[in-house]
Chain A
Amino acid sequence: MPSTQVPPIAGAAIDPPSLRPPIDDAVIERVAPSEIRARLEALKADGYAMLLDLGAVDYLGRSPRFDVVYHLLRLAPKPASVAEVSTPTRLRILCGVEEDISLPTVSDLWKSADWAEREIYDLFGIRFDGHPDLRRIQMPNDWVGHPLRKDYPMRGPALERAPRPAFANKTNVVAGSPPSGRTLEALQEQVKRVREGRP
């Protein structure tokens, strides 16, 4: 059987969307942030009435760092006859965004973008100009940091420092880190302190 494994590309791929295999799940387009608003307005006028999804991906190490992904759907018009079969068409727009660059909002074009943009702001930190109410949606209002960024620790800044139970063998632990969270040096320091009678 032919193997499904591909040889690794000198480590992990930095820009996966440019290396994708031929899968026909959607028509894909890459648009720059300066043109994204005009392009989306044109697509909406062209019949793409549904903004299926609006998400973001963090490609740390690539420039531009983030990809904001718009999935659009053009619903099929009612077929004129039974013999005519029309299917909806899907379109994917990828917009590469650098850190600290904001995108124009599309919540006035498609109302569904409201919460989706808030979520991208909350979890990635990408701002949307013109959004009526851009605040955190998933995390508490006073949370610091944008959790879905690749440089945000998995367990969050507070938990990362806390000792972990010894039986926790999750694969998201950096290999070699002691499960208890206490390093040898800290233990030796503690022993020294006890021997010297310090608190």
Chain B
Amino acid sequence: MTVSPGHFMLARLDDVARWAQSSSVWPLTMGLACCAIEMMTVTSSEYDIARLGSEVFRSSPRQADLMIVSGRVAQKMGPVVKRLYDQMADPKWVISMGACASSGGIFDNYAIIQGVDTIIPVDVYVPGCPPTPDGLLYAVNLIQQQIRAGGRGGILARA
């Protein structure tokens, strides 16, 4: 962007749009298990995800940009996660929070889907069991970087 003395600012539309998008990523309330408690903690005053732009967590997938899969995905819940992901409008991003969502975690058994990336495309993985809220904040930062670099998330063209 160049600022000229006077009343005009020049910028590319893409840059402005991406800056706006990255500054207001609204997550979907996809809290499944223990990681969900750390996700709630990241909205509390000590970690405060609202200052990064995620002011509200939307319950309706139609209104959310980011799905934070926080917790272990059970066999019954898999189709539900897929349906919610499909219901989100483009562009959408996914953070796989925690070991269970990323790879099945410590539960290598019949009941847990071994990684949510077997059913939906994931943009950022956060390790930890559960990750500290700082880890989730860093993941949101990485999503913001991806957005600003032009990534449209998931199966669409990635930066």
- The reply to whether chain A is a binding partner of chain B is yes
Does B110 reach chain A (CB closer than 8 Å)? yes
Considering the chains assembled together, what is the distance between the CA atoms of A155 and B108 in angstroms? 6
Whole-angstrom distance between the Cβ of A86 and the nearest chain B Cβ? 39
CB < 8 Å neighbour of A153 from B75, B110, B111: B110
Chain A interface residue bracket vs B? 10 to 19
Q: Do B110 and A147 have beta carbons less than 8 Å apart?
A: yes
Chain B residues whose CB sits within 8 angstroms of the CB of A157 once the complex forms: 110
B111–A147 CB distance below 8 A: yes
Q: Mark B57-76, 1 if CB is under 8 A from A, else 0.
A: 00000000000000000011
* Residues of chain B in range 63-122 having any CB-CB distance to chain A below 8 Å: 75-76, 108-111, 114
Across the A-B interface, how many residue pairs have beta carbons closer than 8 Å? 28
Q: How far is the CB of B110 from chain A (nearest CB, A)?
A: 3
Contact, CB under 8 Å: A139 / B108? no
Partner of B76, one of A140, A152, A154, A172: A140
* A156-B108 in contact given A139-B76, A140-B75, A140-B76 (Cβ < 8 Å): no
Q: Which of A52-108 contact B (CB under 8 A)?
A: none
Binding site for B on A (CB under 8 A): 138-140, 143, 147, 152-157, 159, 168, 170, 172
Question: B129 CB to closest chain A CB, in angstroms?
Answer: 15
Q: Which chain A residues lie closer than 8 Å to B75 at the CB level?
A: 139-140, 143
Q: Measured between alpha carbons, how far is A121 from B156 in the docked complex, in Å?
A: 44
B114 in complex: contacting residue of A143, A154, A159, CB < 8 Å: A159
Q: Is the CB of A168 within 8 A of B76?
A: no
A140 to B75, CA, bound (A): 7
Min distance, Cβ B125 to any Cβ of chain A, angstroms: 15
Q: Which residue of B lies closest to A170 (CB)?
A: B108
CB of B79, distance to nearest CB on chain A (Å)? 8
**Cα separation A147 to B111 with both chains bound (whole Å):** 9
**In the docked arrangement, what's the CA distance between A152 and B111, Å?**
12
